[in-house]
Amino acid sequence: MMQQPAEADALFDAARRRVKRRERLTPWLMMAPALAIIIVFFGLPTLYMARMSFNLHPDQRLYVPGFTLEHYLSLLTDPLFTGALWTTIKLAFVSSIFTVLIGYAFALLVWLQPAKWRFAFIALALCPLLISEISIIFGWWMFFPKNGLLSYALLSTGVIEDKISLMYTEFAAFVGLIYVTLPFCFFILLSIFDGIDKRMLEASADLGAAPFRTAWEVLLPLTRTGILVAFAQSFIWSMGTYATPSALGPDTLWTVGYMIQEQMLGKHNWPKAAAFSMVLAVGVAIVMMFIRSLMWKRTSFHA
Amino acid sequence: MAEAHTAPDAPALELDRIRRSFGNVLAVDDVSIDVAKGEFVTLLGPSGSGKTSTLRLIGGFEELESGAIKINGARIDHLPAYQRDTATIFQSGALFPHKTVAENIAYGLRMRGIPKAEMPARIKRSLEMVRLGGYEERYPSQLSGGQKQRVALARSMVVQPTILLFDEPLSALDLSLRLQLRSEIRRLHDEIGFSAIYVTHDQGEAMAMSSRVAVMNKGRIEQIDRPDRIFHAPANEFVHTFIGESCCLPIRLADGKAADLAGAPLALRLREDQADGDWRLYLRPARLKLGAQAVQTENRLAARIHFIEFLGDFHRYHLKAGALEFFADQPGDLGHSIGTEIDVGWQSADMRLYR
Amino acid sequence: MLEDAQRETIPPVARRRPDALLLRALALAFMVFIVLYIAIPIMITLTMSFNDASMIRFPILHWSLKWYRDFLGSPQWVDALGNSLIIAIGTMTISTVAGVLAAWVFERYKFPGRSALYLAIMMPLFMPGVVLGLGVAIAFGGLNIGGFAVYGSRGLVMLAHSLWAMPLVFMLMEATFRIIDHRIVEASYDLGGRPLRTFFEIVLPSVSTGIISSALFAFVISLNEFVMALFLTDRDTQTLPVLMWLSLRSAGTPRLAVAAVILASAVFASLVLILLWYIRQLRKTSR
Average confidence (pLDDT) over A127-141: 93
Average confidence (pLDDT) over C168-177: 94
CB B218 within 8 A of CB B49: yes
In a shared domain, residues B226 and B115: yes
Reported confidence tier of residue B2, pLDDT bands at 50, 70, 90: very low
Contact flag A12-B80 (C-beta cutoff 8 Å): no
Angle between helices C66-73 and C75-108 (to 10 degrees): 80
Reported confidence tier of residue C102, pLDDT bands at 50, 70, 90: very high
pLDDT at position C104 is 93
Integer Cα distance of C243 and C230 in angstroms:
9
Beta bridge partner(s), residue A112: none
Could you write out the three-class secondary structure of chain A? CCCCHHHHHHHHHHHHHHHHHHHHHHHHHHHHHHHHHHHHHHHHHHHHHHHHCCCECCCCCCCECCCCCHHHHHHHHCHHHHHHHHHHHHHHHHHHHHHHHHHHHHHHHHHHCCHHHHHHHHHHHHHHHHCCHHHHHHHHHCCCCCCCHHHHHHHHCCCCCCCCCCCCCHHHHHHHHHHHHHHHHHHHHHHHHHCCCCHHHHHHHHCCCCHHHHHHHHHHHHHHHHHHHHHHHHHHHHHHCCHHHHHHCCCCCCCHHHHHHHHHHHCCCHHHHHHHHHHHHHHHHHHHHHHHHHHHHHHHHHC
Contact flag A152-C268 (C-beta cutoff 8 Å): no
In a shared domain, residues B54 and B165: yes
Average confidence (pLDDT) over A32-61: 91
In a shared domain, residues B224 and B280: no
Average confidence (pLDDT) over A189-193: 90
Domain boundary among B226, B242, B258: B242
Strands B289-290 and B341-346: antiparallel
pLDDT greater at residue A195 or residue B51:
B51
Is residue B3 within 8 angstroms of chain A, CB to CB?
Answer: no
In a shared domain, residues B103 and B136: yes
Average confidence (pLDDT) over A75-104: 90
Is residue A261 within 8 angstroms of chain C, CB to CB?
Answer: yes
Residues in A 117-176 with any Cβ partner in C closer than 8 A: 117, 124-125, 127-128, 130-143, 145, 147-149, 151-152, 156
Integer Cα distance of B138 and A189 in angstroms:
44
Contact flag B4-A20 (C-beta cutoff 8 Å): no
Contact flag C128-A270 (C-beta cutoff 8 Å): no
Integer Cα distance of B76 and B70 in angstroms:
6
Q: What is the pLDDT of residues C55-71, one digit of tens each?
A: 888 888 889 899 999 99
Residue C285, pLDDT above cutoff 70: no
**Average model confidence (pLDDT) for chain B?**
88
In a shared domain, residues B203 and B257: no
Q: What is the pLDDT of residues A3-12, one digit of tens each?
A: 566 777 788 8
Provide, as residue numbers in chain B, all residues whose Cβ is less than 8 Å from the Cβ of C205. 98
In a shared domain, residues B64 and B210: yes
Provide, as residue numbers in chain B, all residues whose Cβ is less than 8 Å from the Cβ of C287. 139, 142
Is residue C220 within 8 angstroms of chain A, CB to CB?
Answer: yes
Provide, as residue numbers in chain A, all residues whose Cβ is less than 8 Å from the Cβ of C216. none
CB-nearest partner of C192 from B61, B82, B95: B82
Nearest CA-CA partner of C181 in B148, B96, B62, B199: B96
Integer Cα distance of C269 and C85 in angstroms:
13
Chains touching B (at least 3 CB pairs under 8 A) are: A, C
pLDDT at position A47 is 94
* For chain C, domain boundaries: 2-48, 81-285
Torsion of CA A209, A215, A221, A225, to 10 degrees: 170
Contact flag C14-A24 (C-beta cutoff 8 Å): no
Q: Which residues have CB under 8 Å from B91's CB, separation 6+?
A: B167, B168, B169, B171, B172
Superfamily for the A71-302 domain: MetI-like (1.10.3720.10)
pLDDT at position C241 is 95
Provide, as residue numbers in chain C, all residues whose Cβ is less than 8 Å from the Cβ of A288. 123, 126
Q: Which residues have CB under 8 Å from C122's CB, separation 6+?
A: C167, C170, C171
In a shared domain, residues B157 and B299: no
Contact flag A134-C248 (C-beta cutoff 8 Å): yes
Contact flag B5-A2 (C-beta cutoff 8 Å): yes
In a shared domain, residues B163 and B252: no
pLDDT at position A18 is 86
pTM over 0.90: no
Nearest CA-CA partner of A183 in C224, C272, B162: C224
pLDDT at position C2 is 45
B324: closest CA of chain A, how far (Å): 49
Integer Cα distance of B267 and B295 in angstroms:
14
pLDDT at position A209 is 67
Q: What does CATH list as the number for C81-285?
A: 1.10.3720.10
B161: closest CA of chain C, how far (Å): 9
Contact flag C38-A127 (C-beta cutoff 8 Å): yes
Angle at C124 between CA C38 and CA C162, to 5 degrees: 80
Residues in A 68-127 with any Cβ partner in B closer than 8 A: none
Provide, as residue numbers in chain B, all residues whose Cβ is less than 8 Å from the Cβ of A26. none
Nearest CA-CA partner of A98 in A218, A234, A194: A234
**Average model confidence (pLDDT) for chain C?**
88
pLDDT at position A303 is 34
Nearest CA-CA partner of C78 in C239, C272, C198, C287: C239
Contact flag B2-A3 (C-beta cutoff 8 Å): no
pLDDT at position B171 is 87
Q: Which residues have CB under 8 Å from A248's CB, separation 6+?
A: A137, A140, A141, A144, A167, A168, A172, A173, A175, A176
Q: How many domains does chain B have?
A: 2
pLDDT at position A61 is 74
Q: What is the pLDDT of residues A258-279, one digit of tens each?
A: 888 888 888 888 899 999 999 9
Reported confidence tier of residue C83, pLDDT bands at 50, 70, 90: very high
Nearest CA in chain C to A109: C27
Reported confidence tier of residue A302, pLDDT bands at 50, 70, 90: very low
Residue B7, pLDDT above cutoff 50: yes
Reported confidence tier of residue C202, pLDDT bands at 50, 70, 90: very high
**Average model confidence (pLDDT) for chain A?**
86
Domain boundary among B224, B242, B260: B242
pLDDT at position A5 is 67
Q: Which residues have CB under 8 Å from A161's CB, separation 6+?
A: A155
Angle between helices A270-302 and A70-77 (to 10 degrees): 80
Q: DSSP characters for chain C? A: -HHHHHHHHS-HHHHTSHHHHHHHHHHHHHHHHHHHHHHHHHHHHHHHTTB-SSS--SS---B-SHHHHHHHH-HHHHHHHHHHHHHHHHHHHHHHHHHHHHHHHHHH---TTHHHHHHHHHHHHHS-HHHHHHHHHHHHTT-EETTEE-TB-HHHHHHHHHHHHHHHHHHHHHHHHTTS-HHHHHHHHHTT--HHHHIIIIIHHHTHHHHHHHHHHHHHHHHH--HHHHHHB-TTT--HHHHHHHHHHH---HHHHHHHHHHHHHHHHHHHHHHHHHHHHHHHHT-
Residues in chain A: 303
In a shared domain, residues B168 and B291: no
pLDDT at position C56 is 82
Q: What is the pLDDT of residues B334-344, one digit of tens each?
A: 778 888 888 88
Contact flag A19-B78 (C-beta cutoff 8 Å): yes
Is residue B81 within 8 angstroms of chain A, CB to CB?
Answer: no
pLDDT at position B299 is 85
In a shared domain, residues B159 and B233: yes
Q: Is B264 buried (19+), middle (13-18) or exposed (0-12) by CB count in 10 A? A: exposed
In a shared domain, residues B82 and B7: yes
Average confidence (pLDDT) over C134-163: 87
CB-nearest partner of A211 from C20, C35, C267: C20
In a shared domain, residues B84 and B121: yes
pLDDT at position A74 is 86
Between A134-138, A177-181, B337-341, C174-178, the lowest mean confidence (pLDDT) is in B337-341
* For chain A, domain boundaries: 1-52, 71-302
Q: Note down the domain range covering B295.
A: 247-354
Which stretches does DSSP call E strand in chain B? 13-22, 25-35, 40-44, 66-71, 74-75, 86-89, 163-167, 195-200, 212-217, 220-225, 247-254, 257-260, 265-266, 277-283, 289-290, 299-310, 314-321, 324-331, 341-346, 351-354
Contact flag A106-C30 (C-beta cutoff 8 Å): yes
Q: Which residues have CB under 8 Å from C162's CB, separation 6+?
A: A37, A41, C91, C94, C95, C98, C218
Q: Assign residue B74 the CATH number of its domain.
A: 3.40.50.300
Provide, as residue numbers in chain C, all residues whose Cβ is less than 8 Å from the Cβ of A281. 127-128, 131
CB pairs under 8 A between B and C: 71
Residue C46, pLDDT above cutoff 70: yes
